[in-house]
């Protein structure tokens, strides 16, 4: 069984349905995980997605800058939506699907961006981000089991490596690349010995981005990006991945998101 998973911060699923459909038609992933859907559950475009062969959908949505959705070709054996930090926002959904090597759980996350000031005392949004990451760590540490077959994807809103940003020197004190955020992301990664699938296939020495600001007049020429979108796996799936890439072309599609999709493929035979 070959399983392909795409994660994509879509920045409004209803506004960008044409490029969601384009992605599903051109890349035909088995599972598509969307973040920042900005869509209450009752307004999600189920029918348009189901017409493309994706009958199984789990959503955790609301209006505003939140919301996640997980779309699958395969039947969903179990689903879970978890609230973090008692905030009432929609930042997580998980599904479990069957595979020849056993059930696989896919966690879809949208970690808070954290605002502009990297100081939890002065910036409530940054404090929220810190609390969210700490809660993620505690949860996965409590659930840790070497047999767990799990994939974690999403907009984690942190670019951990120097090569994950266009300029480490200029962004070292900018939210998404500060030392405190990188340490917390590392803590989350260690909580279940998560493996960064994308960097498994694309060496850490290579510059790699998945987000480019709308502010750049020519984002491609400027190429001032950050790698904020991630795909991780637990050790039980560590040797199952055979491909990963950022679908950079999608950043240039009509009315694009400021994020590009990230895809990973697995052999679960």
Closest residue by Cα to residue 73 from 92, 93, 95:
95
Is the whole model's pTM more than 0.95, yes or no?
yes
pLDDT digits (tens, 9 = 90+) for 50-88: 999 999 999 999 888 799 999 999 999 999 999 999 999
Characterize 3-15 residue by residue with b for buried, 16 or more Cβ atoms within 10 angstroms of its Cβ, and e for exposed: bbbbbbbbbebee
pLDDT for 64 equals 81
Give the DSSP per-residue string, 81-143.
Answer: ----TT-----EEEEEE--TT--EEEEEEE-----S---TTT-HHHHHHHHHHHHHHHHHHHH
Quick count: other Cβ atoms within 10 Å of Cβ 40? 14
- The boundaries of the domain holding residue 208 are 2-267
Q: What's the rounded Cα separation, in Å, for the pair 80 and 90?
A: 12
With a cut of 50, which residues of the chain have pLDDT below it?
A: none
Bridge partners for 229 per DSSP? 155
Cα distances (Å, whole numbers) of residue 125 to 5, 55, 120 = 30, 36, 8
How many domains does the chain divide into? 1
Q: What is the CATH number for 65?
A: 3.60.10.10
Q: In degrees rounded to 5, what are phi and psi of residue 212? A: -135, 130
Q: What pLDDT, on a 0 to 100 scale, did the predictor assign at position 65?
A: 77
pLDDT in tens, 13-42: 999 999 999 999 999 999 999 999 999 999
- pLDDT attached to residue 63: 81
């Amino acid at each position: 069984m070959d399983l392909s998973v795409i994660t994509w911060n879509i920045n409004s699923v209803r506004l960008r349905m044409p490029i969601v459909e384009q992605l599903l038609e051109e890349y035909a992933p088995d599972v598509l995980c969307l973040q920042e859907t900005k869509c209450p559950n009752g307004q999600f475009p189920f029918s348009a997605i189901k017409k493309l062969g994706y009958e199984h959908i789990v959503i955790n949505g609301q209006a505003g800058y939140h919301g996640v959705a997980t779309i699958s070709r395969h039947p969903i054996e179990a689903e879970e939506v978890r609230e973090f930090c008692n905030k009432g926002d929609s930042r997580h959904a998980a599904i479990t699907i069957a595979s020849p090597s056993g059930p696989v759980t896919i966690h879809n996350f949208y970690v808070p961006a954290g605002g502009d000031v990297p100081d939890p005392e002065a910036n409530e949004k940054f404090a929220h981000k810190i609390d969210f990451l700490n809660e993620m760590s505690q949860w996965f540490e409590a659930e840790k089991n070497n047999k767990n077959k799990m994939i974690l994807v999403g907009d984690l809103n942190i670019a951990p490596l120097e090569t994950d940003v266009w300029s480490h020197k200029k962004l070292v004190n900018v939210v998404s690349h500060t030392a405190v955020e990188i340490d917390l992301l590392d803590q989350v990664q260690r909580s279940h010995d998560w493996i960064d699938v994308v960097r498994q296939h694309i060496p850490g020495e290579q510059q790699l981005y998945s987000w480019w600001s709308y502010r750049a007049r020519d984002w491609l020429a400027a190429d001032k990006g950050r790698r904020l979108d991630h795909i991780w796996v637990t050790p039980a799936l560590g040797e199952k991945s055979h491909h990963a890439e950022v679908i950079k072309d999608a950043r240039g599609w009509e009315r694009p998101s400021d994020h590009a999709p990230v895809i990973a493929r697995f052999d679960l035979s």
